[in-house]
């Protein structure tokens, strides 16, 4: 276990719509994990892609968390305010020869026989395009607290991945690593739909000589057709007037079954029980 006085967790939703049940599961899991270790729980709004943002989504997210008693420490962070720190990281990587500019189209990348750059971008010094991180033949090893040791060879799975897009928006991989490091996040608890991003982020931590956080990927909530609950799949928004019921359902989904006497309890009582009984070993590994 990490030092109980130094654990910092976080929840980092994108403001593309209201929170749904799957979002609540991720928020609750990360909240409980941080509080069970007497740590801090931070909130970051990942608003780096304005075309995908929904009107009033951030306000809706904050209201939903507050209604469910999931209150954060410190001020809310907004990625749109962090461009200086992203540019500093890109300059550091460029100076060390870890990045290059790539003007390959998405179609060309999809049609390539391997996942990395398909042109002479690696060797040339182009002025315009996406900024990619060289992955070489790196095999990344990391541990997931639920699934154990995991290895991934990036050259075979994703190749040289984008840190800044051709449209000048910063990529998720860069922003999440820099912001988690800046906030000294020690424990990343999130949905298993983000598991395939973890090796890339670990590699970026290593290249930047930053300490990695610990990872715990929660099972995904799915619809009856097997699709994960997501905003893209039009998952229904959480009803704020059913906060206790929503928390109860989320705890049961995470296989943390509260006693029957708490089924209609206020959110504070449910959360107090859940923090006291949080155990990642109880989590299911499948949806």
Mean pLDDT for the stretch of residues 233-260: 89
Position 223 scores a pLDDT of 60
Mean pLDDT for the stretch of residues 114-134: 75
Per cent of the chain over pLDDT 70 is 88
* CATH fold label, 8-81+179-282: Rossmann fold (3.40.50)
Q: Please indicate whether residue 118 or residue 10 has the higher confidence score (pLDDT).
A: 10
Q: Cα torsion for 20, 75, 84, 193, to the nearest 10°? A: -20
Sequence spans of domains, the chain: 8-81+179-282, 83-164
Position 116 scores a pLDDT of 60
Position 1 scores a pLDDT of 36
Residue 216 has pLDDT above 70, yes or no: yes
Residue 231 has pLDDT above 90, yes or no: no
Other CB atoms within 10 A of residue 69 CB: 18
Position 110 scores a pLDDT of 65
- Farthest CA pair distance, the chain: 67
Q: Cα dist. 7→41, 122, 144, 184, 280 in Å?
A: 9, 39, 17, 9, 15
Q: What is the per-residue pLDDT across 22-77, written as a single tens digit (0 to 9) for each?
A: 999 999 999 999 999 999 999 999 999 988 899 899 999 999 999 999 999 999 99
Q: What is the per-residue pLDDT across 91-120, written as a single tens digit (0 to 9) for each?
A: 999 999 999 998 887 676 666 655 666 556
| Burial grade of 74 (CB within 10 A; 0-12, 13-18, 19 or more) | exposed
Mean pLDDT for the stretch of residues 6-19: 95
Cβ contact 67:182 at 8 Å: no
Per cent of the chain over pLDDT 90 is 74
Position 118 scores a pLDDT of 55
Strand 187-191 versus strand 161-164 pairing type: unpaired
Q: How confident is the model at residue 85 (pLDDT cuts 50, 70, 90)?
A: very high
* CATH fold label, 83-164: Rossmann fold (3.40.50)
Q: How many CA atoms lie less than 13 Å away from 38 in the CB half-sphere?
A: 6
Give yes or no on whether 8-81+179-282 and 83-164 have one common fold: yes
Position 121 scores a pLDDT of 78
Mean pLDDT value across the chain: 89
Position 3 scores a pLDDT of 43
Mean pLDDT for the stretch of residues 122-147: 87
């Amino acid at each position: 276990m990490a030092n109980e006085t130094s654990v910092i967790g976080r929840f980092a939703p994108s403001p593309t719509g209201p929170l749904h049940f799957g979002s609540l599961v991720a928020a609750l899991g990360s909240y409980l994990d941080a509080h069970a270790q007497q740590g801090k729980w931070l909130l970051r709004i990942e608003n780096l892609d304005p075309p995908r943002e929904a009107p009033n989504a951030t306000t809706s997210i904050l209201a939903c968390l507050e209604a469910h008693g999931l209150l954060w420490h410190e001020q809310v962070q907004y990625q749109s305010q962090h461009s200086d720190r992203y540019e500093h990281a890109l300059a550091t990587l460029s100076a060390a020869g870890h990045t290059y500019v790539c003007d390959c189209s998405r179609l060309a990348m999809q049609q390539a026989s391997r996942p990395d750059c398909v042109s002479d971008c690696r060797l040339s010094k182009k002025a315009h395009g996406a900024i990619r991180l060289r992955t070489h033949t790196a095999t990344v090893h990391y541990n997931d607290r639920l699934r154990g040791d995991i290895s991934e060879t990036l050259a075979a799975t994703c190749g040289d991945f984008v840190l800044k897009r051709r449209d000048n928006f910063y990529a998720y991989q860069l922003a999440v690593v820099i912001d988690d490091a800046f906030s000294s996040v020690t424990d990343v608890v999130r949905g298993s739909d983000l598991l395939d991003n973890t090796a890339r982020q670990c590699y970026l931590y290593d290249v930047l000589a930053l300490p990695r956080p610990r990872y715990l990927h929660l099972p995904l909530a799915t619809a009856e057709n097997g699709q994960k609950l997501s905003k893209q799949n039009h998952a229904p928004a959480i009803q704020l007037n059913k906060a206790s019921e929503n928390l109860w359902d989320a705890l049961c989904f995470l296989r943390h079954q509260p006693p029957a006497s708490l089924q209609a309890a206020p959110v504070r009582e449910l959360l107090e029980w859940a923090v006291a009984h949080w155990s990642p070993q109880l989590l299911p590994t499948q949806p």
